[in-house]
Amino acid sequence: RKEVEQDPGPFNVPEGATVAFNCTYSNSASQSFFWYRQDCRKEPKLLMSVYSSGNEDGRFTAQLNRASQYISLLIRDSKLSDSATYLCVVNLGAGSYQLTFGKGTKLSVIP
Amino acid sequence: NAGVTQTPKFQVLKTGQSMTLQCAQDMNHEYMSWYRQDPGMGLRLIHYSVGAGITDQGEVPNGYNVSRSTTEDFPLRLLSAAPSQTSVYFCASRLTSGPYNEQFFGPGTRLTVL
């Protein structure tokens, strides 16, 4: 079983739409969780961390379900500039700085 | 701060050649790592280091060597390049003071092995 699984997409949505991405992880010892964003031919950049209580940053909401080992990202009021690949990222376990990356979900926001 | 820098941006090698990909960071990060990214495979960890003089293998270490003589620099050496090493290579760094420290990436090196 792959450690971090994501739907590869692509998700093609109109501007203004709400879109949700899901991710499952296999290592129950993972402690820290993130969503990274990667633009075409660029390096990944941190979008937001995902905390146990869920957290929001503007139009972006991230949630974590430790019991189901499931992470989600909700984007409201999609903008053209949101078009990118979204990577689900978890750490290897307690005390580990190693991060495991999902293969990413590609989002295209269409005018 | 320049952040994480990588050189070169592009490189073409012939099978059997060796080369070193350079990576440097100016944020005093203890943890540094190298990834390769291939279509459909995502980012895979090659080697990592938790401080000067300490390195360890990641998921796909074969064919690569690393060293960490200073906090700032973490070069990746390809010993004898093979076409299977054609990829985009990213160097990254982060602090180790907490589990939610951001990991910063360099701009990447696009390597083609003929």
- DSSP 3-state assignment of A53? coil
- Angle A40-B93-A99 from CA coordinates, rounded to 5°: 75
Min distance B41 CA to chain A CA atoms (Å) = 6
pLDDT at B114: 97
pLDDT at B69: 97
The neighbour count for residue A15, using CB atoms within 10 Å, is 12
Nearest residue to B40 via CA among A108, A22, A8: A8
pLDDT at B64: 98
Nearest residue to B55 via CA among B34, B40, B37: B34
SS3 of B7-30: the string is ECCEEEECCCCCEEEEEEECCCCC
**How many residues make up chain A in this entry?**
111
Q: Which residue of B has its CA nearest to A2?
A: B41
pLDDT at B61: 97
Burial B71-106 (b: 16+ CB within 10 A, else e): bbebbbebeebeeebbbbbbbbbbeeeeeebebbbb
pLDDT at B98: 85
pLDDT at A92: 85
The neighbour count for residue B66, using CB atoms within 10 Å, is 23
Whether residues A49 and B103 touch (CB distance < 8 A) is answered with no
Q: What is the distance between the alpha carbons of residues A104 and A36, in angstroms, rounded to a whole number?
A: 9
- DSSP 3-state assignment of B37? strand
CA distances from A80 to A75, A99, A111, B59, B102 (A): 12, 29, 7, 35, 25
Hey, which residues 43-102 in chain B have their CB within 8 Å of chain A?
Answer: 43, 45, 48, 50, 58, 90, 94, 96, 99-100, 102
Low-confidence ranges of chain A (pLDDT < 50): none
Q: Does B39 touch chain A (CB under 8 A)?
A: no
Residues 6+ apart with CB under 8 A from A66: A52
The DSSP 8-state label assigned to residue A3 in this structure reads S
Q: Does B27 touch chain A (CB under 8 A)?
A: no
pLDDT at B85: 98
Low-confidence ranges of chain B (pLDDT < 50): none
Taking every pair of Cα atoms in chain A, the longest distance, rounded to a whole number of angstroms, is 44
- DSSP 3-state assignment of A81? helix
Q: Provide the strand spans (E) within chain B.
A: 4-7, 10-13, 19-25, 31-38, 42-51, 54-57, 64-66, 76-78, 87-94, 104-105, 109-113
